[in-house]
Structure 1
Amino acid sequence: MEILFQNTPYLWVIGGIVFILLEFVFPGTFIMFLGIGGLITGMVTRLVTMSFTNQVILWMVSTLGSLLLGGHFVRKLFKSEKSKDPYIKDDYLNQIVTVEKDVLVGELGGKVWFQGTVWDAISTEERIGKGGKVRILKRDNLVFTVEKITIETE
């Protein structure tokens, strides 16, 4: 057992490398920070003799420190779009579409034909019968909110 404690710096480094490699198997970046903490602990315990309890405390503190510092850089490197999917465009707004099934006021059940498929639709003002023309006002997931339009002919 004494040999195990004499070689703890190397065990911390090996454990750190294993954690970093596990990041490739279980992605999520958290495991990587455990590995960085292990590498730091291994390097410090190689230079300074300390009890195993202090080594574990050093590992926890260095993991937390690397998580706080490294997490900041990871968030900068991998920016996220929280407000809106950049690939979804508002190209449906104000489009004129045909009613496939009566559109009800504030209730699901109505259907409109848009871009080669049928979408759920609701109206905010009046019931719109099949075959009528409507303008798309907004989209909430897979449901369009529409308004009736009148097409003037000359």
Structure 2
Amino acid sequence: MQIVDLIVANGHWSWIVGGLVLLGLELVLPGGFLLWMGISGIITGLLTMVQPMPWPLQWLIFGGLSLLTTFAWVRWSRNRPTPTDRPFLNRRADHFIGHETVLEQAIAQGYGRVVLGDTVWRVSGPELPVGQRVRIVGSDGAVLKVEAIS
């Protein structure tokens, strides 16, 4: 009972220590939500230090802050674009939009071929002869859309 009396007498420190424990657990366990619960525990302890309040209200503040901060983090992180040094990694065809090249196979019945780098690409566009210079203007899956360059 002495531990319970100690916690009740120093409730604000209990929240702060509990928040620090949650922050420490965040370092070990994946997920991210323990960070926000730890911060909520520390804020609850600081509020209780400034204005003493009963335990049910302290738990209500802690729970509300935990839900609010976790929800805000999830919402913010989902709407934030992930920066990358390889933006066309899963969209290789989009990387070539704007490039100019020469047809290796004439476009007949809507399709032909070009060589870009070390890859032969299927292209679609108007009927054009072999050797015609073309500009890549779009893509449809793995098929590049081209137009003739005069």
Q: So what's the TM-score if we normalise by structure 1? A: 0.55
Give the corresponding residue for 1:145.
145
Deviation at 1:35, TM superposition (A): 1.4
1:117 to 116, 119, 126: 119
Paired with 1:102 and 1:116, the residues of 2 have a C-alpha distance of: 20
Give the corresponding residue for 2:12.
9
Unaligned stretches of 5+ in structure 1? none
**Is 36-45 or 96-105 further displaced after alignment?**
96-105
Deviation at 1:44, TM superposition (A): 2.6
Deviations along 1:100-152, one digit per CA (max 9) or x if unpaired, are 696763x8xx6531122233x341434x67x55432112456542123557xx
Change (3 A) 1:141 1:11: farther
Deviation at 1:13, TM superposition (A): 2.0
AA aligned to 1:93 is G
Change (3 A) 1:22 1:145: farther
Give the corresponding residue for 1:42.
45
Change (3 A) 1:137 1:60: same
- Tell me if 1:136 matches 2:140: no
Paired with 1:41 and 1:104, the residues of 2 have a C-alpha distance of: 71
Paired with 1:18 and 1:141, the residues of 2 have a C-alpha distance of: 50
How much identity, in percent, do the aligned residues show?
28
AA aligned to 1:114 is L
Change (3 A) 1:27 1:123: same
Change (3 A) 1:9 1:94: same
1:55 to 55, 58, 63: 58
Q: Do 2:136 and 2:144's aligned partners in 1 also have CA atoms closer than 8 Å?
A: yes
Unaligned stretches of 5+ in structure 2? 89-94
Give the corresponding residue for 2:101.
96
Paired with 2:143 and 2:34, the residues of 1 have a C-alpha distance of: 40
Deviation at 1:81, TM superposition (A): 4.8
